[in-house]
């Protein structure tokens, strides 16, 4: 993976889908790439405009929730680039679930009624609403899969103090409620999502992307109840369709499995689905931009100067 070079750059980290540059001690430049991952594997071909979609949805949502809690974002100098404050991250993800879907449904369907120490009620069908949203945290693994963990275990292991947990819990539920409001205005249901938080001094900040298709699952509200009543599959806006295609082609990231060939037509389909999601979630028209590496460096440098980071 190619690295860019910014003034006062002290480090670069290439994640699965984003490249994170440290500027001095206090700032981060996050470049959202067009890479796509599933089952903790980076798929071999990039998806046009995916980075821009994720970056711009995250910026839209961070702006729309900044009255709930402080967040890391300071500037968006290019379509696929964000600049923000460097926080010390908590080593957990706050997963909030409004509906029994995905991992929650697989757990429930297996007969278990407890997930991350939270009791799930009897009598639910796949995609049904929980009586109230639940928080099912996971540990953030440096490598491999994240692991389910309970609130009690998080506090016992010292991953988060009891006082900080109360703040994280409050923020996560308020953010989810706001996310559901924004989604409902667009004819969508925010079914589940995850949040990451960190600290600067004693202050807790919301970090990373928020309410994007890579971190969230949306249903179409129109016809939702009818589909539930008849047992029909719910219409989703998320990355789940990519996972489903991989599973149908016998790939789940397990040893010995090979990523299936991704045709140009399929890549174009994925790109269009991401753009559809941007427009549906934000209510804005998508304007494709593909800034060159030189343009990104120039725009980021100007923005860093403006915020006093250089």
Instruction: Tell me which DSSP letter residue 249 carries.
Output: T
Please state, in angstroms and as integers, the Cα–Cα distance from residue 44 to each residue in 12, 148, 265, 267, following that order.
Answer: 22, 28, 15, 11
- In degrees and rounded to multiples of 5, residue 50 shows phi and psi of -60, -45
The pLDDT of residue 154 is above 90: yes
| Buried b or exposed e, range 165-182, using 16+ CB within 10 angstroms | beebbebbbebbebbbeb
Does residue 308 fall inside a structural domain? Answer: no
**Residue 71 has what DSSP assignment?**
B
Angle in degrees, 0-180, between the axes of helices 50-64 and 264-282, rounded to the nearest 10: 10
Helix (H, G, I), strand (E, B) or coil at 24: coil
Is 162 domain-assigned? yes
Residue 145 lies inside a defined structural domain of this protein: yes
Mean pLDDT throughout 198-218?
94
User: Which alpha helices (DSSP H) does the chain contain, by range?
Assistant: 50-64, 103-109, 151-156, 162-185, 224-230, 240-248, 264-282, 293-306
Q: Is the model more confident about 220 or about 2?
A: 220
pLDDT at 141: 66
- Residue 176 within a domain: yes
pLDDT digits (tens, 9 = 90+) for 248-271: 999 988 888 999 999 999 999 999
Query: What is the mean pLDDT of the segment spanning 154-169?
Result: 97
Band of the pLDDT at 11, cuts 50, 70, 90?
very high
Q: Which domain holds residue 146?
A: 89-237
Return the CATH number at 231. 3.30.470.20
Global pTM reads: 0.91
Residue range 107-126: mean pLDDT, rounded: 96
The secondary element (H helix, E strand) that includes residue 302 is helix 293-306
pLDDT of 145 > 90? The answer is: no
Residue 261 lies in a domain: no
**Residue 78 resides in a domain:** no
Q: Is residue 17 part of a domain?
A: no
Question: Which positions ≥6 away from 202 have C-beta within 8 Å?
Answer: none
> Quick check: is 209 in a domain?
yes
Q: How many domains does the chain have?
A: 1
Give CA–CA dist 234/48, Å, rounded. 27
Q: What is the pLDDT of residues 225-238, one digit of tens each?
A: 999 999 999 988 88
- Residue-level pLDDT at 142: 60
């Amino acid at each position: 993976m190619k690295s860019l070079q910014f003034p006062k750059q002290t480090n670069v980290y290439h994640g699965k889908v984003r490249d994170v540059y440290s500027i001095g001690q206090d700032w981060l430049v996050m470049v959202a790439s067009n890479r796509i991952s599933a089952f903790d594997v980076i798929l071999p071909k990039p998806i046009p405009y995916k980075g821009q979609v994720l970056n711009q949805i995250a910026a839209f949502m961070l702006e729309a929730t900044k009255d709930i809690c402080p967040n890391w974002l300071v500037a968006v100098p290019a379509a696929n680039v964000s600049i923000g404050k460097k926080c010390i991250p908590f080593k957990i993800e706050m997963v909030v679930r409004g509906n029994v879907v995905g991992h929650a449904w697989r757990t429930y369907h297996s007969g278990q009624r407890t997930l991350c120490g939270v009791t799930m009620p009897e009598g639910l069908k796949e995609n049904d609403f929980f009586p109230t949203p639940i928080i099912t945290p996971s540990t953030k693994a440096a490598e491999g899969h994240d692991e389910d963990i309970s609130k009690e275990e998080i506090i016992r292991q010292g991953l988060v103090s009891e006082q900080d947990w109360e703040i994280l819990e409050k923020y996560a539920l308020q953010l989810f409620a706001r996310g559901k409001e924004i989604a409902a205005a667009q004819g969508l249901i925010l079914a589940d999502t995850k949040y990451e938080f960190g600290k600067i001094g004693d202050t807790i900040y919301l970090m990373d992307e928020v309410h994007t298709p890579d971190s969230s699952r949306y249903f179409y509200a129109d016809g939702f109840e009818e589909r539930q009543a008849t047992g029909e599959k719910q219409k989703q806006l998320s990355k789940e369709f990519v996972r489903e295609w991989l599973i149908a082609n016998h790939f789940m990231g397990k040893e010995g499995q090979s990523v299936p060939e991704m045709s140009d037509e399929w890549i174009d389909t994925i790109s269009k689905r991401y753009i559809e999601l941007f427009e549906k979630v934000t209510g804005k028209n998508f304007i494709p931009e593909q800034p060159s590496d030189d343009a990104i460096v120039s725009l980021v440098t100007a923005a860093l100067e403006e915020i006093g980071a250089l």
